[in-house]
A and B are shown apart, each in its own frame.
Chain A
């Protein structure tokens, strides 16, 4: 069976499954639509959170980034998992106890202010749209490189699928589809990793292969990798060119950003109590850790395999017969350029220029000891996509990877669409501008908003192909969430004195400063020499969080304390099961159990 056959089989099979689930779990009420009835089992919610969380960036780009960045890639591993500790300990149980539908909903009610609510809506929309562009790009990549479907058409097919289950089923439909998508993506990620680990290290468990020896030798995998890459003029694999302060800030920005991301937080509104919210965070991190502890192994294997098969390989021109030419190259005792390379070359993901005219591919780092120039430029995203082919795995594995990549992108996109649609229908309309809407009208508004969000994000994805690597685009969303949303949610729970003025000031400072810094250094020609304290745009969200938090506290102290009923409400949510009715703050709350 060919790769194309298996790919179509897995993709169509998994898509049908998602649609089927969507039809079976239609949402009847706004409670179903926004929070899946507040009654999802913590383990299922953990699985759904894991799928929601692990995006195209985690699935497609992360291992590739680690392969190239080596130790520097650790920021993603620690940052995208450590945030769950903050979420479980500081936010999730309390927010669940508060019993709201959305993040702006919490902000608006805790800070008794429509202005605060609207600013939180702006932050949430901003974060979600930045993030969703990355997902749509991932969908386009998976379709265009495997199914022969043009990039833009791929995005529209993917959006149509999300449209069906997000608009029909709301959070309820999304939850059950995400559970299925988690299973697809984790299977797709770990199976090839096990095969590759066996081939390279002889150990079927990638986490152990990673710290083991290269098959049949007494050299450890990482030592071997260090030798190979330094011989070619790259930085050692276990070292990094990033400064310590930058590593620290990026990791922190990703952690606090994770805890502040609205699409992750809303998942914890779907369980029944503070206790189940805590458990659910634990399950979520367990399911995430399965992929995240395998990723560094995949990255290391991919780097080694790539160098092994591509460096010093004799290039075969497009107009030559690949099989014949490869055979004659092998007869001369040389290695021909691998077949996967020729396949991927067509997609523009890898480029070769014969600078020294010897007909061979030289892969070199910036300080190559033999003085040769680098002739091949691979896109980092292909390392997961092409890994099964590089390792010569059976063709069904390739199909599996594609279905997994799509599952990762679609599940995250769906979670983000929920944030966008509920921010508009619930926070902007129902709670701010049209409070007299009936439940039915609100449902209709939610569905319309979800539809508009699908369409605009598809357009965004289609025209954002000029954006940098998927993972780096997504990294911006974290900075914004860390600087603008995390501090006020955290202070809203742990400091009763935090008031409306402080919250508004803190959100604005965080949002504007982080946004300007990123735009200046990423899109307006700012250079790394100009970075403040050597902190890159990826890590700046943390630095500005350290500014926006004290700003919020100072402004609060200089203005009058929040109303007594709000302070009592904060007191209540700290102790599960003690929440009372608190007048104005009560509107739109989930029933007290």
Chain B
């Protein structure tokens, strides 16, 4: 890949770590948080005919996991451009 940006591996690795940690935080909150730990509190809300916490445990968390990976792919490709890394 040709790029005009300067090759900056340290910057790339810092950005990667930051992104990884923030996405994993959401991962934890969606799966373990919404589906298990705070399930009872969320159940006072409803999505369609399903209690929200229950729905997160059986369906919602899966959608969020998928979105997280998509965001990761897009962001990482961006970082590779920005820091001049050959992806």
Report A's interface with B, CB cutoff 8 A.
66, 71, 73-74, 77-78, 81-82, 84-86, 88-90, 93, 207-208, 210-213, 220-223, 238, 244, 247-248, 251-252, 255, 273-275, 278-279, 281-282, 285-286, 289, 292-293, 296, 574-578
Contact = CB atoms under 8 A, between A and B. Distances in A.
A85 B69 contact: yes
Contact of B61 (A82, A208, A238, A244): A82
A82 B80 contact: no
B5 to A, nearest CB: 14
Contacts of B63: 289, 293
Contacts of A71: 54, 57-58
A296 B62 CA distance: 12
A282 B73 contact: yes
B7 to A, nearest CB: 9
B59 A296 contact: yes
A244 B37 contact: yes
Given A293-B59, A574-B16, A78 B49 contact: no
Contacts of B16: 574
Contacts of B73: 88, 278-279, 282
A77 B63 CA distance: 11
Contacts of B68: 85, 89
B27 A207 contact: no
Given A71-B57, A281-B69, A282-B69, A81 B62 contact: yes
Contacts of A274: 87
Chain A facing B: main interface SS: helix
A74 B59 CA distance: 9
19 contacts: A66-B58, A71-B57, A74-B54, A78-B62, A81-B62, A82-B65, A88-B69, A89-B68, A212-B48, A222-B51, A238-B43, A244-B36, A278-B76, A282-B69, A282-B73, A286-B66, A289-B65, A574-B16, A576-B86
What are the nearest 3 A-B pairs in CB distance? A220-B49, A211-B48, A577-B86
Contacts of B62: 77-78, 81, 289, 292-293
Most B CB contacts (10 A, CB to CB) among A78, A222, A252, A275 go to: A78
A255 B72 CA distance: 18
A281 B68 CA distance: 11
A220 B51 CA distance: 11
Contacts of A221: 49
Contact of A89 (B20, B31, B37): B20
Contacts of A576: 80, 85-87
B24 A247 contact: no
Given A78-B61, A282-B69, A296-B58, A85 B23 contact: yes
A73 B47 CA distance: 19
A238 B69 contact: no
B45 interface: no
B61 to A, nearest CB: 5
Most A CB contacts (10 A, CB to CB) among B27, B65, B70, B86 go to: B65
A243 to B, nearest CB: 11
Interface string B32-68: 1001110000010001111100110111011101101
A520 B32 CA distance: 28
B27 A82 contact: yes
A244 B41 CA distance: 14
Contacts of A74: 35, 54, 57-58
Given A210-B50, A212-B49, A289 B66 contact: yes
A200 to B, nearest CB: 12
Nearest to A224: B49
A261 B70 CA distance: 22
B9 A578 contact: yes
A281 B69 CA distance: 8
A441 to B, nearest CB: 36
A227 B85 CA distance: 58
Contacts of B20: 89-90
A289 B64 CA distance: 11
Nearest to B58: A296
Given A71-B54, A220-B50, A577-B85, A278 B72 contact: yes
B29 to A, nearest CB: 12
A301 to B, nearest CB: 13
Contacts of B13: 574-575
Given A89-B24, A289-B62, A577-B86, A211 B31 contact: no
A85 B27 contact: yes
A285 B66 contact: yes
A210 B66 CA distance: 20
Most B CB contacts (10 A, CB to CB) among A211, A247, A255, A289 go to: A211
A396 B49 CA distance: 32
A282 B69 CA distance: 6
B23 A89 contact: yes
A211 B47 contact: yes
Contacts of A285: 65-66, 69
A121 B76 CA distance: 32
